[in-house]
Chain A
């Protein structure tokens, strides 16, 4: 059974770079059958898709965050990562990693999610 687990600092200073990693267990990130995404949720608010990566390294990003986001994959460690630069208090949120099948009409159906990790931006 595939599981996703986010990890990374829970506190980041303003203007610095937020870095998170999602470790995939119970399956191979290299299978080629899934897209791997990052999604965030500020406290009491809705979900915001940040971006996704395929095992080939190709990416798609939310246009509103694109200038600050980098998503990468490390197949040797079965992990993918998020970097968000120049953070402000508005980036404080629970960050989730999730996967979606590459099957047409399901490419944005996130069927497995990590439990989420809270990241606070504060000095």
Chain B
């Protein structure tokens, strides 16, 4: 069972906007920034969003992140077929000398 809670699945049609939620606690999301990763089938994860809402170079602005309190969200607008992937949220957790915690992942299906 993951420390951060994500819905196991999400779906949308091409062009649609979808959001994926990530719920945590005061020791992780509530006091630290959130990062999002995209994992295409058979590949290593890729950093999609860092520091809650920052996009690394090369990541389309269709992807955006936000955080409020102990929850965060990833939004994908103008959904494309190549967005079909697993998405993970992650954050630093201040408990037990500090460590990184991940969400369980959300499988996004483009219908």
**Judging by beta carbons under 8 Å apart, are B97 and A109 in contact?**
no
* Residue-wise interface mask of B (70-103) relative to A, using a CB-CB cutoff of 8 A (1 in contact, 0 not): 0000000000000000001011100011111111
Contacts of A114 in B (CB 8 A): 44
Nearest chain-B residue to A62 (Cβ)? B99
Q: Does B104 contact A (CB under 8 A)?
A: yes
Contacts of B91 in A (CB 8 A): 108
Given the known interface contacts A60-B99, A62-B99, A109-B51, the answer about A116 and B44 at a Cβ–Cβ threshold of 8 Å is yes
Q: Number of B interface residues, CB 8 Å?
A: 27
Nearest chain-A residue to B57 (Cβ)? A111
CA A37 – CA B56 in complex, angstroms?
19
**Judging by beta carbons under 8 Å apart, are A106 and B51 in contact?**
yes
CA A114 – CA B50 in complex, angstroms?
19
Q: Does B63 contact A (CB under 8 A)?
A: no
CA A20 – CA B77 in complex, angstroms?
39
Contacts of A108 in B (CB 8 A): 32-33, 35, 90-92, 100
**Judging by beta carbons under 8 Å apart, are A96 and B44 in contact?**
yes
Nearest chain-B residue to A94 (Cβ)? B44
Nearest chain-A residue to B106 (Cβ)? A46
**Judging by beta carbons under 8 Å apart, are B46 and A113 in contact?**
yes
A residues apposed to B, CB below 8 Å: 37, 46-49, 51-52, 60-63, 96, 105-111, 113-116
